[in-house]
């Protein structure tokens, strides 16, 4: 195992994670500013977590997985792609991230639902 390769893989995975979280948070902020009345509606929120979040994850984690596969193949390790079964580590990691990101967004959305008392 090459320590430099492992460092590069960890860096790319963390970068994909941070970019995904940042992109979803920025889009959610812009949606809240652009549609302040509609964002409180559950019918507005559910498509966001079932369409926008998976799309962002697919882009960033897909690119990270393709890069990881290219690095491992070049280093003589066994390639990751194609994924082998529904419980392969990249899929399990993506599901864990999706649940966490959705819980975070749900908490933010629920905070918007509570009436504010000014005074």
Q: In this structure, is the dihedral angle defined by the CA atoms of residues 108, 112, 113 and 116, taken in order, positive or negative?
A: positive
Per-residue pLDDT at 49: 93
64 Cβ contact list (under 8 Å, min separation 6): 12, 13, 15, 16
pLDDT in tens, 31-45: 989 988 888 888 989
The CA-atom distances, in angstroms, between 94 and each of 27, 44, 101 are: 19, 24, 10
Record the pTM: 0.79
Asked if 68 contacts 15 with a C-beta cutoff of 8 angstroms, the reply is no
Confidence of residue 119 (pLDDT cuts 50, 70, 90): very low
Domain ranges of the chain: 3-110
**Nearest-5° Cα angle at 102, 31 to 9:** 105
């Amino acid at each position: 195992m090459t320590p430099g390769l492992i460092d590069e893989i960890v860096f790319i995975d963390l970068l994909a994670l941070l970019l995904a979280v940042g992109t979803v948070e920025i889009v959610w902020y812009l949606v809240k500013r652009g549609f302040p009345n509609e964002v409180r509606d559950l019918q507005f929120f559910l498509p966001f977590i079932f369409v926008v979040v998976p799309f962002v994850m697919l882009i960033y984690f897909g690119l990270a997985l393709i890069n990881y596969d290219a690095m491992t193949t070049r280093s003589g390790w066994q390639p990751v792609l194609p994924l082998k079964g529904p419980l392969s580590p990249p899929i399990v990691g993506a599901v864990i991230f999706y649940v966490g990101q959705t819980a975070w967004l749900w908490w933010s959305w629920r905070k918007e639902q509570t009436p504010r008392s000014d005074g």
